[in-house]
Amino acid sequence: MTRIAAFLFVLTTSVFATDPWRSPTRQQVDALYPEIKTLYEDLHRNPELSFHEEKTAAKLADRLRQLGFQITTNVGGNGVVGVLKNGPGPTVMVRAELDALPVLEKTGLPYASHVTTHNDQGIEVPVMHACGHDLHMAVAIGTAMLLAQHKDRWHGTFLFVGQPAEERIKGAAAMLKDGLYTRFPKPDAVFTIHDSTLFPAGKVGFTPGYAASNAHSVDVTIFGKGGHGSAPQLTVDPIVIAARTILSWQTIVSRENNPQDPAVITVGTIHGGTKNNIIPDDVKLQLTVRSYKDEVRKHLLSAIERVVTAEAAAAGAEKKPTVEVVESVSAVYNDPALTQRLASAQEPVLGKDNVVQAAPIMASDDFAEYSRAGVPSVLLNLGAVNPARFETAQKSGEVLPGLHSSGFAPDPEPSLKTGMLVETTAVLELLAK
């Protein structure tokens, strides 16, 4: 039996059967809430962009150090790894993201971000935690506090990972490359939460199997032959080639892909030309390409290059287009058995009606890399919308501000408290005596 298989077998046997403390009480969470709320507001007020999370990382490291964790910083960039050993047993890792987004906050909150900084291109940009990473960090610190306070009720090793650069889908890979699974106790399971506007606060969603898509950012350049707009016969117009190519790319999804396998090809930018009567020499396009299965991903990328090359040749272009994948991330795959077990563990804590199966999404998260590196992982989605507002929006059809929006703001108290209950319960399900 392999190490992973043995671990999953243990999860389904009697090792946990007699444990009386399988989750924190709401009273224990309530007692921590004022401190966790203060941390959350501080993180929200002081966001940092990907690869620049120095102060954020230091805040988490200091708190974990005070709790007795062994701390290592600058792992894969600004990554923080905290190790809390508590006797023999499995090792469970929890991931929380450090970085924020270049978004101008318009929530009007008293703790709203007013931070501006220069991005890697030297351009001044606003910064906001518009994806809830501040919530994830605060919840994870709350989980660490509960586990540190109750070491008599669990055994094994708890691994806290503060991951940089999730928004650039590079942080997880960087930490793994820097020895996350070799320099530190290798986890038997990896867990994380992600806030969601698809549920009201107090609910949690689980998705066995594929939960979020792989994603590829693809840059394409089409080369033509420029000239005067009044004499198109003397040119090879790359704008026309681009227009035909964009339409043809959509037939990859509609005519080459199995309708049972989700796939998306979106052209996000197109740049070509400088004046209305000049045909340019080239046109640049940027795409996002998404799917779940590896075989679908490979076909989409191959077909994108095949189609643009053929369209350019049909137009008489002398130079072949260039197609470059500039960044990519794999699909998030929740280990089905582990997902079901952790979801079931939430039912006595939150109530069965508050633990719901959710459909997979076409957004992406580099949490996928931890599973791809050989460790079963689970991502649960945490409702973050005020319940009354959510119900009103459902009835009226109002579209609430979503993730990456300038107006996105979780409802702090129920989101933070539910997050601590969910995350600590998941860890205890794997480590409880």
User: So which residues are the catalytic ones?
Assistant: 99, 166
The DSSP-derived string for 233-260 is GGSB-HHHHHHHHHHHHHHIIIIIS-TT
Q: What CA–CA distance (Å, rounded) separates 140 from 419?
A: 8
The alpha-carbon radius of gyration of the chain (Å, integer) is: 24
- At 73, give phi and psi (nearest 5°): -110, 170
Of the candidates 139, 177, 131, the residue with the CA atom closest to the CA atom of residue 160: 139
Question: Which run of H or E residues covers position 116?
Answer: strand 116-118
* 352: CB partners within 8 A, 6+ apart: none
Of the candidates 322, 346, 412, the residue with the CA atom closest to the CA atom of residue 134: 412
Distances (CA, A) of 130 to 47, 112, 198, 304, 409: 10, 11, 15, 32, 7
b/e per residue, 192-212, with b = 16+ CB within 10 A? bbbbbbbbbbbbbbbbbebbb
Q: In 10 A of CB 373, how many CB atoms?
A: 15
Strand partners, 218: 287, 325
* CB 228 within 8 Å of CB 234: yes
Terminal-residue alpha carbon distance, the chain? 23
